[in-house]
Amino acid sequence: MVVMKAAILYESLTGNTRTAGEMIAANLQQEGWGITGVCPVRKPEMAAIQDADVVIIGTWVHGLFVVGQAPWGLGAINGLPAMRGKLAATYCTFALNPAKTLDKLDKAVSFLGAEVVGGVALHRSRLPAHTEEFVARLIANVPVRA
Ligand SMILES: Cc1cc2nc3c(=O)[nH]c(=O)nc-3n(C[C@H](O)[C@H](O)[C@H](O)COP(=O)(O)O)c2cc1C
């Protein structure tokens, strides 16, 4: 059996996005995936990224709640190592309305060379249910390698 391996990189100020990353890791492990690392975007573990088939990148929505929403930490995400040949999935945590945050995050991650297979916005007060949904969708969208 081929075991898919994921690395999870998060940008987090008050901990929600980090918690979401840890929940995603636990859920993926329950589904039989390997986790090569869970680390902050600003302290990326190079080996974890290198060894992963899928790199999961999460951040939080910053804005004025009804306008100006954007992924926080795009500069740090843009500075991640190139990820050519890897799949990627994205998530953002939010309080009210993520607007186009995921689109902007996906663009940045695509620019690193990864193929983005999808992303989910996770409400900060529903992280257990929304991270389960993220993992279910990820598994449904990742082609299993022969
Ligand atoms: C300065 C600031 C601006 C925010 N702007 C928005 C926003 O525009 N829309 C929204 O839905 N949530 C907004 N939030 C809520 C955060 O996105 C949410 O609490 C998120 O889960 C924080 O992630 P963290 O705990 O990993 O830092 C904002 C939070 C802060 C601190």
* Tokens (6 digits) for 81: 């190592």
Q: Please tell me whether residue 123 adopts helix, strand or coil conformation.
A: strand
93 CA closest ligand 1 atom index: 21
| pLDDT tens string 24-47 | 999 999 999 999 999 999 999 999
Closest-lying ligand 1 atom to the alpha carbon of residue 15: 25
Residue range 53-67, pLDDT digits in tens: 999 999 999 999 889
Characterize the bridge pairing of strands 34-40 and 5-10.
Answer: parallel
In this structure, what are the phi and psi dihedrals at residue 132, rounded to the nearest 5 degrees? -60, -45
pLDDT the model gives residue 2 = 79
What stretches of 22-114 adopt beta strand conformation (E)?
34-40, 54-62, 70-71, 87-94
Boundaries of every domain in the chain:
5-141
Give dist(CA 146, CA 144) in Å, integer: 6
What kind of fold does domain 5-141 have according to CATH? Answer: Rossmann fold (3.40.50)
Which tens digit of pLDDT belongs to each residue from 127-137? Answer: 999 999 999 99
pTM of the entire predicted model: 0.97
Tell me which residue has its CA closest to atom 2 in ligand 1: 62
